[in-house]
């Protein structure tokens, strides 16, 4: 029915990574955590718990998700853990999304 090539393996890998990044951003609480970190620069877990209407364990899970996505990093500081945005990773994510949207300019559209 069509003659589209079966898609290169590299792009599939990139899509996998980009999808993982999008999934990390796909929850309001995680966006709020990122905004809080951006505002305060550096946050101890308890400060984030105070901002969000969520239990401490839930916030910890979201922090873990953001850390596994590479968007934030946290280092132990005594009994606390200090979190912050990873500027390098953030720039990479920004570039990845910009690249995605850059390639999504359709040559034609059936929309209004």
Partner DNA sequence: TTGTCTTATCGTAGATATACGATGATTGAC
Partner DNA sequence: GTCAATCATCGTATATCTACGATAAGACAA
CA separation (Å) from 75 to 13, 42, 45, 59, 67? Answer: 30, 11, 11, 16, 11
Q: Which of 13, 31, 38, 55 binds DNA (CB under 7 A)?
A: 55
Copy the structure tokens of residue 3: 């003659």
Q: Which residues contact 25 (CB under 8 A, 6 or more apart)?
A: 31
Q: Which of 65, 69, 85, 93 binds DNA (CB under 7 A)?
A: 65
φ/ψ of residue 110, rounded to 5: -95, 5
> Do residues 29 and 74 touch, judged by C-beta distance below 8 A?
no
Q: Which of 21, 63, 69, 93 binds DNA (CB under 7 A)?
A: 63
Count of residues touching a copy of itself (by CB under 8 A): 60
Q: Which of 21, 33, 49, 72 binds DNA (CB under 7 A)?
A: 49
Q: Rule CB under 8 A: is residue 18 a binding residue for a copy of itself? A: yes
Q: What does DSSP assign to residue 6?
A: -
Site of interaction with a copy of itself (CB under 8 A): 1-2, 4, 6-7, 11-12, 15-16, 18-20, 22-23, 25-28, 30-32, 34-42, 46-47, 50-51, 73-75, 82-88, 90, 93-94, 97-98, 100-101, 103-111
């Amino acid at each position: 029915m069509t003659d589209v090539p079966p898609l290169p393996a590299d792009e599939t890998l990139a899509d996998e990574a980009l999808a993982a990044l999008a999934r990390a951003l796909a929850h309001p609480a995680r966006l709020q955590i990122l905004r809080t970190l951006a505002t305060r620069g550096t946050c101890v877990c308890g400060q984030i718990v105070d901002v969000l209407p969520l239990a401490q364990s839930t916030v910890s899970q979201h922090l873990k998700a953001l850390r596994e996505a590479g968007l934030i990093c946290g280092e132990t500081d005594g009994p606390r853990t200090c979190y912050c945005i990873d500027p390098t990773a953030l720039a990479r994510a920004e570039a990845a999304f910009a690249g995605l949207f850059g390639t999504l300019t359709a040559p034609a559209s059936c929309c209004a």
